[in-house]
Amino acid sequence: MTRKPSTPKSTRDTVSLREQELDTIAAVLPMERRDELAELLTDQDVETLRHLVNEGMGVNTLRALSSDLTYLQAWSLAATGRSLPWPAPEALLLKFIAHHLWDPEKRLADPLHGMPADVDDKLRIQGFLRTAGPHAPDTVRRRLATWSTLTKWRGLQGSFGSPSIRSAIKLAIRATPRQRRRKSGKAVTGDVLASLLATCQTAGLRDVRDRAILMVAFASGGRRRSEIASLRTEQLQTEEPLQVEDSPPLPSLSIHLGRTKTSGAINEDVVYLTGRPIEALNAWLKLAKIESGSVFRAIDRWGNVSRRALDPKAINDIVKQRAELAGLDPTEFSAHGLRSGYLTEAANRGIPLPEAMEQSRHRSIQQASEYYNDAQRRSGRAARLIA
């Protein structure tokens, strides 16, 4: 039997120290892959991420940067056998584009077109590639932008804006047109949400947690899954109860999101909860005995609540699981359906777009108004000429 070569003690010590460094920035990394990242990222990579954490950059931005950096390192090792060079030569940037933006039809006639099979296999085994086909142009642009940003932070200049790079991206996108797809096939509107919540009726940990997640995510304006997964008790602030007509005062809570995807570098977003979503949230915190730290956490098969935050992907899984339990097609729903569903429901109820955007924190009127236009077209007179 062939023995696997042992890792030299000095290398093991280096990786172990790197794991400890990664623990200090757990909020921005997929820590279930900490051991792998400790071997994949360089000391300088980890130091760069730590510096950005200390500079107070938004958690979601940091998570995206660290995810892109990890993928770029994995691709470079798979494609060249070496870590990313800083700065990257123009030829390597062109190779990255050629590996990720390619024509599926040409690939059928020319197996060497696009990402080589051995590179694809290595990335797929490590879990970096999950679907077949070329990458989305926006994903390639974002990763190149991350590569460029990290290059500048190292005080170096890259070739990211060169005419050949811009031309290569433009031609590659033109040669491989992609139909734009919604992030969620169907919006989680009020009636769908009620069906999902109906599957959370027991007093068990999972039902109580999932009910709180669904209600808080929807009522707070359709929060992104990363914002819900990373929510901490320090972001919650009890407000004065609200008096609504002749009803008893309703509990009120503000959620301080900090810097988000759309708030910019200076502004910090705040959204509000009122009534039942707060009751659902408090029920979860009390049952799980959470007094500080992450709000929404994993639950193991023995009913133990983890100390660490849920992975953002888990929010998506919860929506799909609840959809299936409700007798709906889980492939048609995702966590983003809560975001699109909030605006769609607001439009259906006649809530003015600016008021709904204050809660959803959309900055683009064009993007937010798409949901309103769809709702108005569906219920408008033009759609009912022969009803």
Closest by alpha carbon to 61, among 268, 230, 259, 225? 259
| pLDDT for the residue 384 | 54
Q: Distances in Å between the alpha carbon of 95 and those of 2, 92, 101, 178, 261?
A: 36, 5, 10, 21, 30
Domain final residue, candidates 175, 204, 231: 175
- What Rg value do the Cα atoms of the chain yield, rounded? 24
Helix (H) or strand (E) holding 93: helix 90-100
User: Is 5 a domain residue?
Assistant: no
Give 240's DSSP letter: E
Q: Distances in Å between the alpha carbon of 384 and those of 135, 276, 373, 377, 387?
A: 41, 36, 16, 10, 5
pLDDT at 280 over 90: yes
What is the distance, to the nearest Å, from the Cα of residue 292 to the centroid of all Cα atoms in its chain?
Answer: 23
| pLDDT for the residue 121 | 93
Q: Are residues 171 and 197 in the same domain?
A: no
Name the least confident of 159-173, 208-222, 354-368: 354-368
User: Is 53 a domain residue?
Assistant: yes
pLDDT at 364 over 80: no
* pLDDT tier at 38, thresholds 50, 70, 90: low
Domain final residue, candidates 175, 205, 237: 175
Residue carrying the six token digits 């932070």: 153
- pLDDT (mean) for 359-367: 75
User: Is 145 a domain residue?
Assistant: yes
CB 338 within 8 A of CB 222: yes
User: Is 6 a domain residue?
Assistant: no
User: Is 225 a domain residue?
Assistant: yes
What share of the chain has pLDDT > 90, as a percent? Answer: 37
Task: Report how many domains make up the chain.
Answer: 2
Phi, psi dihedral angles at 260 (to 5 degrees): -120, -175
CB 196 within 8 A of CB 326: yes
Question: How far is the C-alpha of 177 from the C-alpha of 77, rounded, in Å?
Answer: 29
CATH number at residue 207: 1.10.443.10
Q: Distances in Å between the alpha carbon of 190 and those of 259, 339, 342?
A: 28, 12, 8
Q: Are residues 230 and 282 in the same domain?
A: yes
| pLDDT for the residue 265 | 43
Give the other-Cβ count within 10 Å of 115's Cβ: 23
Q: Are residues 200 and 163 in the same domain?
A: no
Helix (H, G, I), strand (E, B) or coil at 175: helix
Give the other-Cβ count within 10 Å of 382's Cβ: 7
Q: Are residues 246 and 368 in the same domain?
A: yes
Helix (H, G, I), strand (E, B) or coil at 202: coil
Q: Are residues 128 and 205 in the same domain?
A: no
- Mean pLDDT, rounded, of the chain: 81
Domain final residue, candidates 131, 150, 175: 175
Q: Are residues 168 and 210 in the same domain?
A: no
Q: Are residues 34 and 139 in the same domain?
A: yes
Q: Are residues 253 and 375 in the same domain?
A: yes
Q: Are residues 74 and 216 in the same domain?
A: no
pLDDT at 79 over 90: yes
User: 168: domain range?
Assistant: 11-175
Closest by alpha carbon to 84, among 95, 74, 94? 74
Give whichever of 30-34, 127-131, 301-305 has the largest mean pLDDT.
301-305
Q: Are residues 247 and 356 in the same domain?
A: yes
User: Is 1 a domain residue?
Assistant: no
Q: Are residues 158 and 197 in the same domain?
A: no
- pLDDT (mean) for 84-94: 91
| pLDDT for the residue 75 | 95
Give 248's DSSP letter: P
User: Is 183 a domain residue?
Assistant: no
Residue 157: Cβ-neighbour burial (10 angstroms; 0-12, 13-18, 19+): exposed
- pLDDT (mean) for 152-167: 87
Q: How would DSSP label each residue in 222-238?
A: S--HHHHHT-BGGGEEE
Q: Are residues 170 and 195 in the same domain?
A: no
| pLDDT for the residue 383 | 52
pLDDT at 22 over 60: no
| pLDDT for the residue 183 | 55
Question: How far is the C-alpha of 337 from the C-alpha of 25, rounded, in Å?
Answer: 30
CB 210 within 8 A of CB 322: yes
Give whichever of 45-54, 204-213, 376-385 has the largest mean pLDDT.
204-213
Angle at the Cα of 337 from the Cα atoms of 350 and 345, rounded to 5 degrees: 10
Q: What are 102-127's pLDDT values in tens digits?
A: 888 888 888 888 899 999 999 999 88
Give the other-Cβ count within 10 Å of 356's Cβ: 22
Per the structure block, which two tokens stand in for 161?
């804006």
User: Is 43 a domain residue?
Assistant: yes
* pLDDT tier at 78, thresholds 50, 70, 90: very high
Residue with more model confidence, 47 or 333: 333
Residue type, 185: G
Q: Where are the beta strands (DSSP E) in the chain?
A: 236-242, 250-258, 269-274, 297-299, 305-309
| pLDDT for the residue 34 | 52
Q: Where are the beta strands (DSSP E) in 129-179?
A: none
CB 137 within 8 A of CB 173: yes
